[in-house]
Amino acid sequence: MRLGVLDVGSNTIHLQVVDAHPGARPSPTTNHKVELRLTDHLDAKGAINPEGIALLMQGIEDAVEHAQNFQTEEILAFATSALREAKNGPKIIDEINSRYEIDLQMLSGDDEARLTFLAVRRWLGWSSGKLLVLDIGGGSLELATGVDENPEAVLSLPLGAARLTREFLSGDPFTNKGLNSLESRAHELLKSKMPAKLQSHDADHFVATSKTFRTLARIANHWYGDRAQYLEANALIGIISRLSSMSSEERSKLPGVSISRAGQIVSGAIVAQAVMERLSISELEICPWALREGVILKWLDWNER
Q: What is the DSSP string of 133-190?
A: EEEE-SS-EEEEEESSSS-SEEEEES--HHHHHHHH--TTTTPHHHHHHHHHHHHHHH
Q: Which residue spans of the chain are classified as CATH 3.30.420.40?
A: 2-106
CB 76 within 8 A of CB 5: yes
The pLDDT value recorded for residue 24 is 87
The pLDDT value recorded for residue 305 is 64
The pLDDT value recorded for residue 22 is 86
Distance CA 162, CA 181 (A): 15
In CATH terms, the fold of domain 2-106 is Nucleotidyltransferase; domain 5 (3.30.420)
CB 291 within 8 A of CB 112: yes
The pLDDT value recorded for residue 170 is 96
3-state SS, residue 46: coil
Q: 254 forms bridges with which residues in the sheet?
A: none
Distance CA 97, CA 229 (A): 38
DSSP string, 210-229: HHHHHHHHHHHHHHH---TT
The CA distances from residue 26 to 23, 105, 256, 269, 298, in Å, are 9, 21, 24, 30, 12
Q: Give Rg (Cα) of the chain.
A: 19
What's the DSSP call for residue 108? P
The pLDDT value recorded for residue 23 is 85
CB 250 within 8 A of CB 87: no
The residues near 205 (Cβ < 8 Å, ≥ 6 apart) are 124, 128, 129, 130, 131, 132, 285
DSSP tally for the chain: helices H, then strands E: 12, 11
The structure's pTM equals 0.96
**145: phi > 0 → left, psi -120 to 50 → alpha, else beta; which?**
beta
Write out the chain's pLDDT in tens, 305 residues.
999 999 999 999 999 999 998 888 999 999 999 999 898 999 999 999 999 999 999 999 999 999 999 999 999 999 999 999 999 999 999 999 999 999 999 999 999 999 999 999 999 999 999 999 999 999 999 999 999 999 999 999 999 999 999 999 999 999 999 999 999 999 999 999 999 999 999 999 999 999 999 999 999 999 998 788 999 999 999 999 999 999 999 999 999 998 889 999 999 999 999 999 999 999 999 999 999 999 999 999 988 76
**128, 114, 284: which is closest to 209 by C-alpha?**
284
**119, 100, 113: which is closest to 141 by C-alpha?**
113
In CATH terms, the fold of domain 110-287 is Nucleotidyltransferase; domain 5 (3.30.420)
Distance CA 212, CA 267 (A): 10
Rounded to 5 degrees, what angle do the CA atoms 76, 81, 84 make? 80
DSSP string, 183-249: HHHHHHHHHHH--HHHHT---SEEEEEHHHHHHHHHHHHHHH---TTEEEHHHHHHHHHHHHTS-HH
Q: Which residue spans of the chain are classified as CATH 3.30.420.150?
A: 110-287
